Amino acid sequence: MTIELKTQFGTIDVSQDVVATIAGGAAIDCYGIVGMASQKQFKDGLSDLLGRENFRRGVITRENGDELHIDMYIIVSYGTKISEVAHNVQSKVKYHLEKMLGLDVESVNIFVQGVRVTNP
């Protein structure tokens, strides 16, 4: 499934994996994020910390007509204010997708899958 962008020069098809990779990269750079978690945590019973090469597994993109919705599964650092971290991730992901692809993101839903203590 791809997202189709129409320009004056023609159409551009962007894979949802690309959108997920950009969103995951933007989220990882936010303060208070330890990493991305697999969205299949409920099946596995574990919150696996995903590496940089496959953090798009922690991002689900959904299209509903012209609207784009993104679900992100994250692990936050202990001692940070979770609501602020989630808000920062939402803002940064929306900004990066608009800047890089010109996509208007309707919603970025954050699911906190765990809290981890990080080394100082």
Residue range 14-36, pLDDT digits in tens: 888 889 989 999 998 899 998 88
Beta bridge pairs of residue 78: none
Q: Look at the chain and report how many structural domains it folds into.
A: 1
Burial of 85 (0-12, 13-18, 19+ CB in 10 A): buried
pTM to 2 decimal places: 0.81
- Please report, for the domain that includes residue 60, its CATH number: 3.30.70.1350
- What is the arithmetic mean of pLDDT over 61-80? 90
d(CA 45, CA 14): 33
Query: pLDDT exceeding 70 applies to what percent of the chain?
Result: 82
Q: Which domain holds residue 23?
A: 2-116
Phi, psi (5° rounding) for residue 56?
A: -70, -15
| Closest of 14, 78, 45, 83 to residue 23, by C-alpha | 14
At 46, the pLDDT band (50, 70, 90 cuts) reads: very low
Q: How far from chain centre, in Å, is Cα 112?
A: 12
